[in-house]
Amino acid sequence: MNNLLDLIFAFKVMIGSIQAADSLVDYVNVLAGTSNTYELSTGGATPLMGRPFGFNHWSVQTEPDHATVRYFNPASRSFYGVRCTHQPSIWIGDYGYFLVNAIISHDEPQQSVSFAPLQTTYKPHYFKSSALYPGNADMGQLNGACETI
């Protein structure tokens, strides 16, 4: 009987803590499983942001297209832009993607700007980096546009 009461109490505490949060989305860590190399994979995931069951998703690109590593590295200090992707897993490969660049230049096909990964917010529906130069990047609530401030 005591075990049943303990279980009910634990369940009520768990439900109460979930209801205290703004949303269940606050518990999602989109960076889980993204620290990958060809030698060692920690999940083969990319930090996708988008609407539920959406066809297009957005992901931060921290590596150039021609790099030998995946296009996202959570420890990288380079920001190449925000990638519109259809790729559900890094093992499948990407097709039909495009990149919204941080810099427009005719001299170099793909340039990056520096940013601090620890000062960046990644959520399933929101991306914000406050350390981009010359401004900030804020995708807002994924309403279809990327705003540079």
Three-class HEC string of the chain:
CHHHHHHHHHHHHHHHHHHHCCCHHHHCCCCCCCCCCCCCCCCCCCCCECCCCCCCEEEEECCCCCCCCCCCCCCCCEECEEEEECCCCCCCCCCCCEEEECCCCCCCCCCCEECCHHHEEEECCEEEECCCCCCCEEEECCCCCCEEC
Residue 63 forms part of a structural domain: yes
Residue 12 forms part of a structural domain: no
Q: How many structural domains is the chain composed of?
A: 1
- CATH code of the domain containing 40: 2.70.98.10
Residue 94 forms part of a structural domain: yes
Q: What domain range is 68 assigned to?
A: 24-148
Residue 9 forms part of a structural domain: no
Residue 2 forms part of a structural domain: no
Percentage of the chain surpassing pLDDT 70? 62
Confidence of residue 120 (pLDDT cuts 50, 70, 90): confident
Residue 143 forms part of a structural domain: yes
Q: Over the stretch 127-136, which tens digit does the pLDDT of each residue have?
A: 887 655 555 5
